[in-house]
Amino acid sequence: MLGVPALPLWTSRLWLLFCAVLITVAVPVTVADYDIGLPLAFAVCSVQAGSLALAVNWPRLGAGLHLVATAVVVLVNRDSPDQPWPLPITGLVSLGALLLLLGVRERWTVSVSVWWLSILMLVALVATSPDRYADPDQWGVNLTIYSSYTVTLLAAAIAVGQRGHIRRDLAQARRDVELEQAQRRYVEERARIARELHDVVAHSMSLVHMKALSAPFRLTGPRPADTDAEFNDIARLARAALTEMRQLLRALRSDEDASDPVPQPQVADLHELAAALVKAGTVIDLSVDERAGNTSPIVQLTIYRVVQEALSNVVRHAPAARTRVAVQVSDSQLVVSVHNEPSPRGGFAPVATTRPDRGGHGLRGMRERVSLLGGELSTGPTPDGGFAVEATIPAAA
């Protein structure tokens, strides 16, 4: 049931209440009207009601169990010629409830398939019961009532369900567009920075280099003996800065020039990230739920970047602080937490920047990444003097 959100708490409780009421009504009806033993009636009706509760989270398994239980009910009830057959009143209600749930929660193909299976199953059970088959007035009316009311119910449920699926698909498409736009802005910003570095900073450093080299020949008159050596040092530093600037420009332009896409880090790469920081002197306790590796690549990339940025802040602001990193899967959400204790060397907590020219960095960048997936990010100091970062991300994003 990928992409279908969990039922609200009040709806889940109401559905469980319906299942409980169903079993309390179905058991005495089955015992009294069909002369079935209490243990068998209780067992079969429990499976019927329990499969409805199960179908909320595992719809196909719940539907299969419900059809099997319904078939057993039909078989044990066929020796009661004076009662509705093949489906008792409680069977009509429970199958209708199952189709209603499937129509709202599942794709229409699933709910329609279950409806057809129920029709074929009931017809087959009637055909294999010669004593009851001879009375078409009874089973024909029963099946007509079932098929007509469930078709109406199923059509309404599918209409509501498809509307919800369309809204979720549109929301996902909107998130995809926002991610694409954010990526494009990111690439454009890198290109702009590269141009400015090349046109302004690199040009200025080239002038510094040339002036420092030519200064001993341009300047006349007496000057201290170590002046030439000082100018040579300035020229050497300018050359080194130009070399580093060229490397930075190549890195900034690598996204535009690369012919092969660079593999993006995933949840499994967190162990390598933590190991590298441990070698550098940071104490890290890492705990990763294996189920996080089954989420989409964009979710795993976001998890990695959040942890990476949070650990970078620890290294910068709380060096050598003991840090706990946890990636947990809870229901339909992922919870990523990074908590560092106070640094033994002293330090200060990172602060989210509000400057427009710093977008995409630090805590603000983490918050933007998480919000694009419909999640939330909370940051702040802890009572023990450390700092905590916690991100909650929908697992189906």
What does pLDDT average to in each consecutive run of 10 residues of the chain (397 residues)?
63 89 90 84 91 90 92 78 78 91 88 92 83 70 86 90 84 85 81 68 71 77 77 80 74 55 78 83 89 88 90 84 92 91 68 40 78 90 92 86
Residues 18 and 148 in one domain: yes
Are residues 25 and 169 located together in one domain of the fold? yes
Beta strand 284-288 pairing with 323-330: parallel
Choose among 146, 161, 73: nearest CA to 115: 146
- What are the beta bridge partners of residue 324? 285, 339
1 located within any domain: no
Look at residue 3 and tell me if it is in a domain. Answer: no
Give domain status of residue 262, yes or no. no
Report pLDDT for 258: 43
**3-state secondary structure string across 312-345:** HHHHHHCCCCCEEEEEEEECCEEEEEEEECCCCC
Task: Say if residue 21 is in the same domain as residue 130.
Answer: yes
Residue at which a domain ends, from 159, 175, 191: 175
Which pLDDT does position 116 carry in this prediction? 93
d(CA 26, CA 279): 66
Are 14 and 63 part of one and the same domain? yes
Full residue range of the structural domain in which residue 152 is found: 9-175
- Provide CB contacts within 8 A for 131, sequence distance 6+: 78, 81
- Look at residue 303 in the predicted model and tell me its pLDDT: 93
Strand spans (E) along the chain: 284-288, 323-330, 333-340, 376-381, 387-394
Number of structural domains (the chain) is: 3
127 in any annotated domain: yes
Cis peptide before 350 (omega within 30 of 0): no
Residue that finishes a domain, picked among 120, 152, 175: 175
Q: CB under 8 Å, gap of 24 or more: what pairs does 285-290 form?
A: 285/322, 285/323, 285/324, 285/325, 286/325, 286/326, 287/324, 287/325, 287/326, 287/327, 287/328, 288/326, 288/327, 289/327, 289/328, 289/329
- Provide the whole-model pTM: 0.45
Quote the pLDDT of residue 98: 92
pLDDT of residue 126: 85
| Same domain, residue pair 215 and 291 | no
Do 386 and 368 have their domain in common? yes
**Residue that is last in its domain, among 175, 210, 239:** 175
How many helices (H) and strands (E) are present in the chain, helices listed first? 12, 5
